[in-house]
Amino acid sequence: MASAYISMGEAHRRITDFLNRFSDAVSSQDAKSLCLIFSISSNSSFLLSLSDALITFQDASRVMRQADRYSQYADILLPLFRALQSYRLKNLVESYQAFEKAANAFTQEFRNWESAWALEALYVIAYETRILAERADRELASNGKTPEKLKGAGSFLMKVFGVLAGKGSKRVGALYVTCQLFKIYFKLGTVHLCKSVTRSIETARIFDFEEFPLRDKVTYMYYTGRLEVYNENFSAADHKLSYALSHCNPQKERNIRMILKYLIPVKLSIGILPKTSLLEKYNLTEYNNIVLALRRGDLRLLRCALQEHEDQFLRSGVYLVLEKLELQVYQRLLKKIYIIQKQKDQNKAHQIKLDLIVRALKWLEIDMDVDEVECIMSILIYKNFVKGYFAHKSKVVVLSKQDPFPRLTGKAVNS
């Protein structure tokens, strides 16, 4: 290990240097250099050399005790040293544990500081906590243990959120921590925990949402939009994801793609189809066939497309949304039949026989009998995809003469 080549004197110098930096940063309220000090996972040469020094010079606490200006921050720095050291030694679980302690101590300090000057540093800490926890969990999982650190990071960040969420200048930072929490919760699949945080963000009257930093707003809207997708609350999801999309940095194609991944199904389900060029630009080709099926009224294509990307859609959580597009496909199919009939006979066009539909479906290799198709027609009418009524006796769908196939544009479908 490289550390073996560092002399004790050098190690001591580096540690003292680091301690000076820290106490200088605190006393001069220099958030930037504090950020450097805490970004443990950045692998900066500064921190790497320090961790080597720490490995050589085992008893860093002695150095710290030498001066009051260090020792008052011992609860932050000692665990931080341990975290750095373990990180260097690739012991991520210990590194995380130590870092969380340091972070906790720092948060306590932060709480006592009047101003929010160290907000940036707190951001770094929140971020590092999450990243380290994720890595520690990976390490745990590879050792066959239960990964639990991310969960711990979640509860720790919740505490940090508590520090920030009050009134005053520190509140600006609340959204950043919220977003880190979202990332954790989505990763862990404990999305229900988001609710408490969102409530606190959205119900606060004293603080306008627009005052938060833009990047946090975009992230926040993205995640809450996804939550709305889960709830199949499409208009809200549309609003949030659209907000995220329109405010997202256009250079960040990856982020835009992430947003579109959810926005497209939402838009589809309210009847807005994307251009193929859009799908191609952001490499969202899994939606290609679905869009095509919607255009054509091709139920079979829809089902195939769903099956083909089932895993993907299930993982991203849009499967159920896409599946519900079936009704739109039926509507499209019915419309096509209607148009063809209209071309043949203007007068009888608004009456579509059930048999005809069954045959059309059969032609699509979808095997449904009359009863089932009747059921689907009922549902179409019930859900307002089709205007008209169904005459059971004669097995005929009677379409309204005015606008029999109302466009969905912008409206949510459900009843």
Partner 1 sequence: MMNQGSATMTTLDPSSQENHQAVDPNQHHMSSYYAPPNSTVAPWSAHGADSYARENGVVSHSGYDHDQQAVPPSRNVQDGLNVATSATTPSSGATNVQQDYSSYGTYQSTDPYGYNNTGYAAYYNGYQQQPNQSYPQPSGAYQNTGAPYQPLSSLQNTGSYAGPASYSSTYYNPGDYQTSGGYTSGAYNTQTNAWHEGQYATYTSHQYPSYNSDSNAAYSSTTAPAASQYQQQYKQWADYYNHTQNDVPCAPGTENISVSNVSSLSCPVPAGYSASGVQAPASHAPPGKPESGLPALSAVQSPAVGGNVHDSYWKHWAPSFQNQQPDPVQSYGQKPLDITPSHENLQQSSSCPQGPSTQYQASYQMPYNYQSSLPTVQQTVTPADTGSASKLQIPTNPRITSTMTMGLPKLDMQSSTTNAVARPAYVSVSLPKTNEKVSSNAADNALKPDTFPKSLCGYVERALARCKDDTQMVASQAVMKEIITKATADGSLHTRDWDTEPLFPMSSVDADKKERVIFSAPVSSSPKSKRSPSRRYKSRWEPLVEEKPTVQPASVTPDASKYGSWNRQFSGGKSDNKVNNSSHVKFSLPQRKTPKTDVFRPAKRQCVGDGMDATDNGEASSDSDKERSQSAYKSAAGAAADTPEERRRRENRSKRFERGHGSRIAANDNRSRNGGAGNVYARRATALVLSKNIEENGNCAVEDIDWDALTVKGTCQEIEKRYLRLTSAPDPATVRPEEVLEKALNMVQTSPKNYLYKCDQLKSIRQDLTVQRIRNELTVKVYETHGRLAIEVGDLSEYNQCQSQLKTLYAEGIKGCDMEFAAYNLLCVLLHSSNNRDLLLALSRLPAEARQNDAVKHALSVRAAVSTGNYVAYFRLYKTAPNLNTCLMDLYADKMRYAAVRCMSRSNRPTVPVTYIAQVLGFTSVVSTTEESEDTDGAEDCVEWLKAHGACLTSDSSGEMQFDAKASVSTLYMPEPEDAVSHGDASLAVNDFLTRNLM
Give contact residues for partner 1 (rule: CB under 8 A).
Answer: 61, 65, 74-76, 78-79, 100-102, 104-105, 108-109, 112, 152, 155-156, 159, 189, 191, 230-232, 311, 314-315, 317, 319-320, 323-324, 326-327, 371-372, 374-382, 389-393, 398
| Minimum CB distance to partner 1 smaller for 156 or for 287 | 156
| Minimum CB distance to partner 1 smaller for 215 or for 350 | 350
Cα dihedral value 269, 275, 277, 279, nearest 10: 0
Cβ within 8 Å of residue 82, ≥6 positions away: 94, 95, 98
Strand partners, 396: 353, 391
Task: Report the SS3 class of residue 399.
Answer: strand
Shortest distance, position 205 Cβ to partner 1, whole Å: 26
Shortest distance, position 16 Cβ to partner 1, whole Å: 19
Shortest distance, position 309 Cβ to partner 1, whole Å: 12
d(CA 226, CA 16) in angstroms, rounded, equals 47
Shortest distance, position 398 Cβ to partner 1, whole Å: 8
| Minimum CB distance to partner 1 smaller for 10 or for 74 | 74
Shortest distance, position 369 Cβ to partner 1, whole Å: 9
Q: Report phi then psi at 404, rounded to 5.
A: -65, -25
Shortest distance, position 189 Cβ to partner 1, whole Å: 7
b/e code 361-386 from CB counts within 10 Å (16+ = b):
beebeeebeeeebbebbeebbeeebb
Q: 10 Å Cβ neighbour count for 146?
A: 9
Residue with tokens 């220099």: 30
Shortest distance, position 51 Cβ to partner 1, whole Å: 18
| Minimum CB distance to partner 1 smaller for 198 or for 213 | 198
DSSP H or E run through 285: none
Q: 10 Å Cβ neighbour count for 308?
A: 13
**Per-residue CA distances from 172 to 30, 126, 209 (Å):** 18, 14, 9
Q: Are residues 62 and 43 in contact, defined by beta-carbon separation less than 8 angstroms?
A: no
d(CA 369, CA 355) in angstroms, rounded, equals 9
| Minimum CB distance to partner 1 smaller for 47 or for 380 | 380
d(CA 415, CA 413) in angstroms, rounded, equals 6
DSSP-assigned letters across all residues of 58-74: --HHHHHHH-HHHHTTH
| Minimum CB distance to partner 1 smaller for 175 or for 227 | 227
Shortest distance, position 391 Cβ to partner 1, whole Å: 6
DSSP H or E run through 22: helix 8-27
| Minimum CB distance to partner 1 smaller for 307 or for 346 | 307
| Minimum CB distance to partner 1 smaller for 33 or for 378 | 378
| Minimum CB distance to partner 1 smaller for 287 or for 390 | 390
What's CA 35's distance to the chain center, in Å?
Answer: 25
| Lookup: tokens for 353 | 């026989």
| Minimum CB distance to partner 1 smaller for 205 or for 393 | 393
Length of the chain measured in residues: 415
- Supply the Cα-derived Rg of the chain in whole angstroms: 29
d(CA 137, CA 96) in angstroms, rounded, equals 10
